[in-house]
Amino acid sequence: MKVILVRHGETKANKEKRYSGWTDFPLTEDGQKQVKKLQKLLENEKIDLIYSSPLTRTYNTAKAIAKKLNKDIIVTDSLKEMNFGIFDGKRVDEIVKEHKSEWNNWTNDYINYRIPKGESLNDAYNRVISFIDGLKKEDKTYLLVTHGGIIKIILTYLLDLELEKMWHFRTSTGCLLEIEYKENYGILNRLICK
């Protein structure tokens, strides 16, 4: 199995360093330019299936790439970003001011603490890994258009790293990564980020 992971183009929330989980933010002009670069990078790829998160920023990124490849998109909630609940749409300084106790709880146990009205990192991990395990059943090339946090989860899983290691990866907007998964291990073949 080969998995090509693409992070959506830049949004206003990315630019303003806001948590943007399930809140829908459109692509900026720079984000649209990043999508054009992704189209060019992927125009000759042999992709079997394209999956996308349903959020506008990812779906519009996937739609542009799919059009270039003449492929359909399968939309799945499994690839949605982590649900940041009461933190969504806010910068860290705003979160600390408005939800200090919850922020402290999350930063002390970011894997297991479920953000009010949201999910824990472990919840997101289980959602995503269940989806990835389904893909492993066939030797195909998948293009997954998703979010920064979800890409980090997939990387740690397919490269057999502890979830805590996800912070060792930076996945900028418009980023492309390719992992080849054989038998029981993954190989990072390609990484194109700013």
Annotated binding site for substrate: 7-14, 57
Catalytic residue among 16, 29, 81, 99: 81
Which of 87, 89, 166, 88 is closest to 122 using CA atoms?
A: 166
- Candidate list 8, 99, 119, 178, residue with the active-site label: 8
SS3 175: coil
Q: Is 168 a catalytic residue?
A: no
Annotated binding site: 7-14, 57
How many CB atoms lie under 10 A from the CB of residue 113? 17
Let me know if 81 is a catalytic residue. yes
Q: How far apart are CA 29 and CA 24, in angstroms?
A: 16
CA separation, residue 72 to residues 53, 67, 120, 147 (Å):
14, 8, 31, 19
Yes or no: say if 190 and 41 are a contact pair by the CB < 8 Å rule: no
Q: Are 186 and 12 in contact (CB under 8 A)?
A: no
**Catalytic positions, written as ranges:** 8, 81
